[in-house]
């Protein structure tokens, strides 16, 4: 055609899912305002469905102003539109945050005594519950049974965080940070309603970079931010796994639903990982341990005035992945990592054999590569000789691609 440039039209991105944000009556209801903001500012249409108790903490005008949508808590408002059915059919994602013990009980027993619980019975999209309550309520056998029931039906019920509750109380029961609930919800939606294929699996993920002290103010370390490890944790949670993260000097919010253990040095990472790996189905060694530590730690700050630059004698640190490979139980899947600056595949293959891992994720690192970025690329080598290239993509998408490879190597239940 005359005047045509021959350029192909760029396809429009798929529409973002409509979100139903359920809010039940706990003090953490105010945090749902931040979660709502994250959804709306990223382009989602959000309908907030609070319970009557939630409205005693945050009023309907607040939810309406932040969402730009009408707010109701019972099935009688606009009854001619049958709102619970309409909301449920249109929703592409449902998030209940906070989910109180009362809400979890009513949802588990199929109650439909307000707009939120009635809507929960009509939805056929991914549903995420973010519980928040006192520790005693979370640990009560009734709540434990209700959570198990909801999970058995395919809902994702994350573990609450540990921290300050109401008053002076602390313990497990705190609502995870809204940004992490948001990230997990987006991961759930990206799975497109796929079944939680890691349900019942225990996963250990290491993340970040260790630091080996030289003196009270200096250390040997690396540039690892922990972003890739946390992406592995979030995607494993979205796939139904119970996740323990061992975080080495990570300055990120804890992944919603994960148990996070914090360490500093390679020795501490070694001890924590070996303990957590006992009984785990999968261990993902995404952390970047320092390979060397000073032979001698200087108890006082090393001064320039002490005679110029010091000579620092180094020794090697523990090879954690190799120790895991030697000690792991039958059926456990070990994923190692090789961050390389040259000869990446050759070096990765050698590490795969030396560490006796099932898979090794090989990627090139350097300025603007891997460390600290939001995207990554890798080649995954398997002990069975497989080679799986993963082109540049978001770190959660890369993690999901690796989880597909892990899932194929896990023994089936009953094996």
- Catalytic amino acids? 222
- DSSP-assigned letters across all residues of 204-251: EEEEEB--EEEETTEEE-----SHHHHHHHHHHHHTT-EEEEEEES--
- Helices 344-355 + 320-327 axis angle, to 10: 40
User: Which residues are 243's β-sheet partners?
Assistant: 203
Q: Cα 228 from chain centroid?
A: 10
Two structure tokens written together for 71: 């707010």
Could you tell me the CA-to-CA distances from 100 to 117, 120, 128, 188 in Å, in that order? 13, 15, 13, 21
Could you tell me the CA-to-CA distances from 305 to 301, 313, 338 in Å, in that order? 11, 20, 39
User: Among candidates 313, 231, 310, 214, which has minimal Cα distance to 265?
Assistant: 214
Two structure tokens written together for 333: 């899947």
- DSSP-assigned letters across all residues of 351-371: HHHHHT-SEEEEEE-BTTBST
Phi/psi for 346 (5° steps) reads: -65, -45
Strands 387-394 and 375-382: antiparallel
DSSP conformational letter for 288: B
Task: Say if residue 41 is exposed, middle or buried (CB neighbours under 10 Å; 0-12, 13-18, 19+).
Answer: exposed
């Amino acid at each position: 055609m005359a005047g045509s440039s021959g350029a192909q039209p760029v396809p429009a991105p798929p529409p973002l899912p409509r979100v139903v944000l359920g809010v039940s009556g706990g003090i953490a209801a105010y945090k749902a305002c931040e979660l709502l903001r994250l959804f709306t500012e990223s382009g989602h249409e959000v309908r907030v469905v609070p319970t009557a108790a939630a409205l005693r903490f945050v009023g309907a005008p607040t939810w309406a102003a932040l969402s730009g949508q009408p707010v109701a808590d019972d099935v009688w408002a606009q009854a001619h539109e049958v709102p619970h059915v309409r909301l449920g059919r249109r929703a592409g994602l449902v998030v209940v945050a906070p989910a109180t013990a009362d809400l979890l009980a009513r949802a588990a027993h199929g109650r439909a005594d307000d707009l939120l619980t009635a809507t929960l019975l009509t939805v056929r999209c991914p549903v995420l519950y973010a519980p928040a309550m006192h520790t005693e309520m979370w640990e009560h056998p009734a709540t434990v049974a209700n959570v198990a029931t909801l999970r058995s039906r395919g809902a994702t019920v994350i573990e609450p965080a540990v921290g300050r509750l109401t008053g002076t109380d602390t313990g497990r029961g705190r609502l995870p940070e809204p940004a992490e609930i948001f990230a997990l919800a987006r991961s759930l939606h990206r799975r497109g309603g796929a079944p939680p294929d890691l349900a019942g699996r225990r996963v250990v993920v290491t993340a970040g970079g260790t630091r080996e002290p030289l003196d009270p103010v200096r250390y040997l370390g690396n540039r690892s931010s922990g972003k890739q490890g946390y992406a592995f944790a979030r995607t494993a949670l979205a796939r139904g796994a119970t996740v323990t993260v061992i975080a080495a000097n990570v300055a990120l919010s804890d992944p919603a639903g994960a148990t996070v253990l914090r360490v500093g040095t390679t020795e501490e990472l070694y001890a924590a990982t070996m303990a957590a790996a006992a009984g785990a189905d999968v261990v993902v060694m995404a952390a970047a341990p320092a390979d060397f530590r000073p032979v001698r730690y200087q108890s006082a700050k090393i001064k320039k005035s002490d005679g110029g630059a010091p000579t620092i004698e180094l020794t090697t640190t523990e090879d954690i992945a190799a120790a895991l490979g030697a000690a792991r139980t039958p059926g456990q899947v070990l994923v190692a990592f090789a961050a390389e600056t040259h000869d990446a595949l050759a070096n990765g293959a050698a590490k795969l054999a030396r560490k006796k891992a099932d898979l090794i994720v090989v990627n090139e690192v350097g300025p603007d590569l891997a460390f600290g970025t939001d995207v990554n690329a890798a080649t995954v080598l398997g002990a069975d000789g497989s080679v799986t290239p993963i082109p540049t993509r978001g770190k959660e998408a890369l993690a999901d691609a690796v989880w597909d490879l892990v899932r194929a190597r896990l023994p089936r239940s009953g094996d």
